[in-house]
Amino acid sequence: MAALISSQRYTAEVRRLCADAVPSGVVVAPEPGSAVEHDFLLLRPHRSSHDALSPQVRRVGDHDLLVRFRNRDEQLVFEFWTNSFTGTPTSDDRSVDLLERYCAEQFPGTLRRFRTRIRRAVPSAADFSASLQQTYVQDGTRMVDVTVTCTQGGDVLAQAWATYALPD
């Protein structure tokens, strides 16, 4: 349960920061028939409340939005890429939260990267399965990559790929 407490707030926090940073009226939608995708890169998840972040918002074509947040020292803290952004909460955000919560309940550690592909909104009663892909050491930190799949009635609704820094 400690992982849930330490990681659950990160993607929601990044989405909130993006909603504040992206100019009003900027909307990005996936190509017709494509899944909604989000990629959260959390390089410095243990920041203090006094850290001032400066956002850099870049729209790439008609279907991509990249938002980077840097601290006072110009170090990259968070990066968020998506092919779907409305600036307001959506059912896809709820699906991301459910996937993140399931990952955090299964794997201890601090979330460092979280990528999702949402084909259809994830209901609370959906079936989740997780698999460990690999463990490794990066810059002296033990890391784990995992995959989570959400299904209902045999149909894949959503998938997530997560990277966690494991506790010592």
Phi, psi of 17 (to 5 degrees): -60, -40
Smallest Cα–Cα separation from 59: which of 93, 104, 95, 21? 21
Predicted confidence (pLDDT) at residue 155 exceeds the cutoff of 50: yes
Phi, psi of 3 (to 5 degrees): -65, -40
- The DSSP H or E segment spanning 2 is helix 2-21
What is the chain's mean pLDDT, rounded? 86
How many residues does the structure list for the chain?
Answer: 168
pLDDT tier, 19 (very low <50, low <70, confident <90, very high otherwise):
confident
> Where do the DSSP E strands lie in 27-140?
36-42, 54-60, 64-70, 76-82, 110-118, 127-138
Q: What does the pLDDT look like over 33-64, one tens digit per residue?
A: 899 999 999 887 656 666 788 999 999 888 89
Q: What does the pLDDT look like over 98-111, one tens digit per residue?
A: 898 898 888 878 88
What is d(CA 26, CA 86) in angstroms, rounded to the nearest whole number? 7
The whole-number pLDDT of residue 80 equals: 93
- The DSSP H or E segment spanning 92 is helix 91-106
CB 17 within 8 A of CB 55: yes
